[in-house]
Amino acid sequence: MAKALKVVVLKGGRSLERGVSLASGARVEDALERLGHSVVGIDVGHDLVARLRAMEPDVAFVALHGRDGEDGTVQELLEVLDIPYTGSGVSACIRCTDKVLSKHAMRDAGIATPDFLSFNETAFKELGAAEALGAIEERLGFPLVIKPADQGSALGIKFAGDPGAVPAALVAGFSYSTKVLLERHISGSDLAVSILGDEALPVVEAIPEHEDGYDFEARYTIGQTRFVCPAELPPETEQQARDLALAVHRLLGCSGFSRVDLMRDRQTGELTVLEANAVPGLTETSLLPLAAEAAGISFDALIGRIVELALDR
Ligand SMILES: Nc1ncnc2c1ncn2[C@@H]1O[C@H](COP(=O)(O)OP(=O)(O)O)[C@@H](O)[C@H]1O
Ligand SMILES: [Mg+2]
């Protein structure tokens, strides 16, 4: 480590992923201390700007997930205050947070993403979108995946098995967001590829212990999902997944690090991209640290590198 820095770790906040963020933040703080930096953790709230002004940190480590922290809001404040910060800039955060926007960008760029449609609340309330559901269901098939356009950690995601289940799934989606994404279901395995700097790390495969059990609870409860890294994939598939993830990271304008979530179709083997996460989790059970470990990069080295990348930007 070159130089001891004054680092603030931004964590917590008001997002639904507050708990995950507190866990990520605590772990990041420990690592930064071991690296010899002077570290202050901030649970972000009303006094954020005042505290940042008073502290004049060398760099801010953004360990926030979800609303405010991952959607460009905090990044915009850090820009205004002229404080270097980790991870992606404002525009990339906005693109990653909005799954509809990022899926359009991918489709336009020829990057495979499951077929989809999306509607905002107005379409249902004022334009009679419900009348079009039959046509949508015909195009996308069942089960139909319904998710809020801008949440993470599987919050609000429903798999509707038949037309009767669609209205309730839409209501659930709209309880999280004003825009909902309806997506073709891919039957297969979940892959995650983390990017560090300009390199894709080894692929992580998430295998749920119970079919159908991959929800918010399962993801953060050790033992309910098994993560394999490196994934047991044919070498050309592994390479293809890494190439796709790096292409998405670049397409969305991410910097420093990110994690791209993909599906691998069980029948055809086809890879499709679900989304990119601008601030992937850094907890004990998170996938980026696992992938780094598989690449021979310890958690402390990972955190050190992320800070370095922030200062180089
Ligand atoms: N189209 C889909 N087909 C099958 N499974 C899906 C689909 N979309 C999401 N999932 C499942 O839900 C998980 C979370 O979806 P994702 O789009 O990555 O949202 P987030 O991680 O932001 O909650 C995925 O990792 C996958 O297991
Ligand atoms: Mg995801």
Q: Is 275 a catalytic residue?
A: yes
Distances (CA, A) of 143 to 114, 268, 277: 13, 18, 25
Q: Is the pLDDT of residue 220 over 60?
A: no
Look at residue 125 in the predicted model and tell me its pLDDT. Answer: 86
Distances (CA, A) of 284 to 72, 165, 298: 25, 35, 12
Element (H, E) at 40: strand 38-43
Look at residue 237 in the predicted model and tell me its pLDDT. Answer: 97
> Ligand 2 mean position to 164 CA, how many Å?
26
Largest CA distance in the chain: 62
**What is the residue with the minimal CA distance to atom 2 of ligand 1?**
185
Instruction: Calculate mean pLDDT across residues 142-148.
Output: 94
d(CA 152, CA 64): 12
Give the burial string for 232-265 (b: 16+ CB within 10 Å, else e): ebeeebbebbbebbbbbbebbbbbbbbbbbbbbe
| Tokens, residue 62 | 């953004």
Strands 38-43, 6-11: pairing is parallel
Ligand 1, atom nearest to 192 Cα:
25
In which region does residue 132 sit, left (phi positive, over 0), alpha (psi from -120 to 50) or beta (all else)?
alpha
Ligand 1, atom nearest to 155 Cα:
23
**What is the residue with the minimal CA distance to atom 13 of ligand 1?**
154
pLDDT in tens, 10-49: 999 998 899 999 999 999 999 999 999 999 999 999 999 9
> Ligand 1 mean position to 236 CA, how many Å?
23
DSSP 8-state code for residue 85: B
Confidence class for position 212, pLDDT limits 50, 70, 90: low
Q: Is 242 a catalytic residue?
A: no
Distances (CA, A) of 66 to 19, 58, 76: 11, 24, 15
The active-site residue, picked from 153, 189, 255, 286, is 153
Question: Which ligand has the minimum distance to the alpha carbon of residue 99?
Answer: 1
Higher pLDDT, 196 or 220: 196
Confidence class for position 97, pLDDT limits 50, 70, 90: very high
pTM for the model stands at 0.94
- Residues with CB under 6 Å of ligand 1 are 114, 145, 152-154, 157, 183-186, 190, 214, 261, 263, 274-275
Our measurement of the distance from residue 27's CA atom to the centroid of its chain's CA atoms, rounded to an integer in Å, reads: 18
Instruction: Calculate mean pLDDT across residues 170-188.
Output: 93
Look at residue 214 in the predicted model and tell me its pLDDT. Answer: 47
Alpha helices in 56-165 (DSSP H): 73-80, 90-97, 99-108, 121-126, 133-140
The active-site residue, picked from 118, 255, 277, 286, is 277
Confidence class for position 221, pLDDT limits 50, 70, 90: low
List residues, by chain if needed, whose CB lies under 5 Å from ion ligand 2.
261
Question: Which ligand has the minimum distance to the alpha carbon of residue 214?
Answer: 1
Q: Is 281 a catalytic residue?
A: yes
Q: Taking a C-beta distance cutoff of 8 angstroms, is the pair 5, 85 a contact?
A: no
The active-site residue, picked from 66, 173, 256, 281, is 281
Q: Is the pLDDT of residue 211 over 80?
A: no
Q: Is the pLDDT of residue 213 over 50?
A: no
Mean pLDDT computed over every residue of the chain: 93
Confidence class for position 126, pLDDT limits 50, 70, 90: confident
Q: Is 153 a catalytic residue?
A: yes
Look at residue 299 in the predicted model and tell me its pLDDT. Answer: 98
Ligand 1, atom nearest to 214 Cα:
27
Look at residue 2 in the predicted model and tell me its pLDDT. Answer: 64
d(CA 242, CA 178): 32
Q: Is 308 a catalytic residue?
A: no
> Ligand 1 mean position to 3 CA, how many Å?
40
The domains found in the chain, sorted by start residue, are: 6-86 (3.40.50.20), 95-112+187-312 (3.30.470.20), 116-184 (3.30.1490.20)
Secondary structure (DSSP) of 202-234:
PPEEEEESSTT--SHHHHHSBTTEEEESS----
Our measurement of the distance from residue 47's CA atom to the centroid of its chain's CA atoms, rounded to an integer in Å, reads: 26
Confidence class for position 153, pLDDT limits 50, 70, 90: confident
Look at residue 66 in the predicted model and tell me its pLDDT. Answer: 87
d(CA 257, CA 195): 5
DSSP 8-state code for residue 265: E
Range scoring the smallest mean pLDDT among 40-44, 54-58, 126-130: 126-130
Look at residue 156 in the predicted model and tell me its pLDDT. Answer: 86
